[in-house]
Amino acid sequence: CVSPEPQRAEVTTVVIQPSLEQINLADKPFALVGRLVVNAKQQKFSGGIRWQHTQQNDEIYLFSSLGQVIAEILRDQTGVSLTTSEPTTYHAQKAEYLTDQVLGWELPLAGLQFWVRGEHYPGTIAEKDLDTNNRTVAIRQDGWSVSYRSYHAAHQPKLLEFSYNDVKMKLIVDQWGKAE
Amino acid sequence: SATDSLKIFISNAHTFRAHFSQKLLDRNFQLIKKASGDMMFERPGKFRWVYDEPYQQLIIGDGKQVWFYDQDLAQVTVHRLDQALGSTPAALLAGDNTIERDFELQEIEVQGETEWLEAIPKAQENAFELIRLGFSQAGMLREMILRDSFDQITWLVFSETEQNPELAADLFQFTPPEGVDVISD
């Protein structure tokens, strides 16, 4: 069931101050399977994404449009590793840096793990547009603009569009949770 | 044997069409995603792979390139055929001797009435580490299992198979629709 597109007209904008203790409190585990398109100046990506998130770790697989795995991104308490299909493994503290270096475009993991659920990242100031039934229509934060085009259900967006300077991204979440 | 079935399949099936159901499994064989649709090919290098469940996607090999069109994303990606050969089940099946040329072939034990053949890529840069092809006793392609370097498994089951059907040429041609973003890599 795909809910109708949230109306643009009656949108209330709230500005949310950062609250660092919320980063852990607001963190929720999830699993999703979907499709991701990235249009960055020097690098583009179009394919599938499979993502399992908990507070302690992230397991992300990026697939080519033809279905084979391009990169496996694993985050745990010690940092982040990115393994390509060669396979070659790269390590860094942050996924943002690693994806930018290895894939040529930045996956904003810290924010995305909240944005993907229609929430803002609690660590920095955020602006959030809410429609009349209090559903997130857009979030502007850390230079990113996130638009929620459609939802599966509350807190389960379906089509999200992102922009950051000249980078454009589109994410369709086809499946929340484990495959039945 | 499965190897004979493969050789006969490659030499006799100039064109082929089937319905397919596909399962993507993680390394612990947990189901990640199910999909289904219809596929057809014409040797060499021409194929049409249409996903209609869970969403519309189209993969077309026109003999030179492989076009991938995702309707929801309004996105087209273009790959060179040789680049796609090692990574697309359809390109493998539609190749002339791709499987025999690029893979070591080994018979493996018969499970029920399906005869299985294992194909291990000779070159490393192939996206799949292991491919299995299952043929019926009558030599008809039934199943295909592909495992990539992250131990993720794509499992394809073919049904309503038809060998050497009449296939119109434009089925293997693709022009990106208006207003669609095209990425070539």
Q: What is the ipTM of this complex?
A: 0.81
Please list every residue in chain B whose beta carbon sits closer than 8 Å to the beta carbon of residue A87: 149
Q: What is the C-alpha separation between B146 and B126, in angstroms, rounded?
A: 11
In this complex, which of B33, B68, B75 lies closest to A66 when CB atoms are compared?
A: B68
Q: If you compute the radius of gyration of chain A from its CA atoms, what whole number of angstroms results?
A: 16
Q: Encode pLDDT of A95-137 as tens digits.
A: 999 999 999 999 999 999 999 999 999 999 999 999 998 999 9
B31 at interface of A, judged by CB pairs closer than 8 A: yes
Phi, psi (deg, nearest 5) at residue B97: -130, 25
CB atoms B59 and A66 under 8 Å:
yes
Q: Encode pLDDT of B59-112 as tens digits.
A: 999 999 999 999 888 889 998 888 777 677 887 888 877 778 888 899 997 778
> Rounded to an integer, what is the distance from CA B161 to the centroid of its chain?
14
Nearest partner of B185 among A96, A95, A42, judged by Cα = A42
Nearest partner of B141 among B171, B167, B166, B116, judged by Cα = B116
In this complex, which of B54, B73, B87 lies closest to A37 when CB atoms are compared?
A: B73
Nearest partner of B183 among B67, B16, B24, B57, judged by Cα = B67
CB atoms A67 and B154 under 8 Å:
yes
- pTM score, two decimals? 0.87
How far is B32 from chain A, CA to nearest CA, in Å? 6
Distances (CA, A) of A85 to A52, A74, B172: 19, 14, 29
Contact B99, B106 (CB under 8 A): no
Q: Encode pLDDT of B139-184 as tens digits.
A: 899 999 999 888 999 999 999 999 999 999 999 999 999 999 898 8
